[in-house]
Amino acid sequence: MAVADLCRTPFLVGPGAGSDDEVRASIDMAAGLEARVLTGVTGCTEPGSKGLRDSRMRLAEKVATAAENAGTMDVHLALEPLNPMFGGNRTVLLTCLDAIHVCEAVNAPNPGIAVDVCCVWWDGLLDISLARAGRERILGFHMCDWLANTRHMLLDRGMMGDGVADFKALRKSVEDAGYSGYYEVDIFSANDWWHRDHDEVLDVVVRRFRTVC
């Protein structure tokens, strides 16, 4: 058994941002679990700022510090863009291209992106963004569906095939860009899948991966 990645760091920007020591502790934890990747959700916009420019500049500074620390422990940092509905609330990265821009600004070998189907399925420029990221910067592929009539932005994600995402096309996009890592199923489902028998859930995951993805 191997740990695909550790999710997640403390928030990196915004009023709820963790300290450098807290971020370092998450890096230490990832290294202790022998996880190659530590995934991060950025956090809110910076207090007093408007738009996203200042927050992303601050994010790049925080990622640069974290990347230097993580590099000494052979840990990669995956920045995960979220659905725009979380913009300003939980993230300042709304697309994979946003995350890639931060990685390029940091200019270190170990930051990259995590591609979460639920959050990027709608992005018409995703193929171009993934090609720009390339093999080295795509650090994770998270599989869960976006339900068209979701009851909760965070905790009502669907099993692959139950929503509107085109998994075969998305999987082809990440593979065409060079990704060959784990496929991680992360279905936050407080009112459905979390209440089902574990064996049933695993059986459905395997069946859907083989047929839908």
Summarize pLDDT for 49-81 with one digit per residue, the tens: 999 999 999 999 999 999 999 999 999 999 999
State residue 196's pLDDT score: 98
State residue 97's pLDDT score: 98
On whether the pTM is more than 0.75, the answer is yes
Summarize pLDDT for 77-109 with one digit per residue, the tens: 999 999 999 998 899 999 999 999 999 999 999
Strand ranges (E), the chain: 6-7, 37-40, 76-79, 111-116, 138-143, 183-185
Closest CA to 99 of 69, 51, 132, 144: 132
Q: Give, to the nearest 10 degrees, the angle between helix 126-137 and helix 167-176.
A: 50
Summarize pLDDT for 139-189 with one digit per residue, the tens: 999 999 999 999 999 999 999 999 999 999 999 999 999 999 999 999 999
Residue 212: C-alpha distances to residues 79, 86, 101, 144, 146 (Å): 26, 27, 31, 11, 14
Q: What is the mean pLDDT of residues 12-17?
A: 95
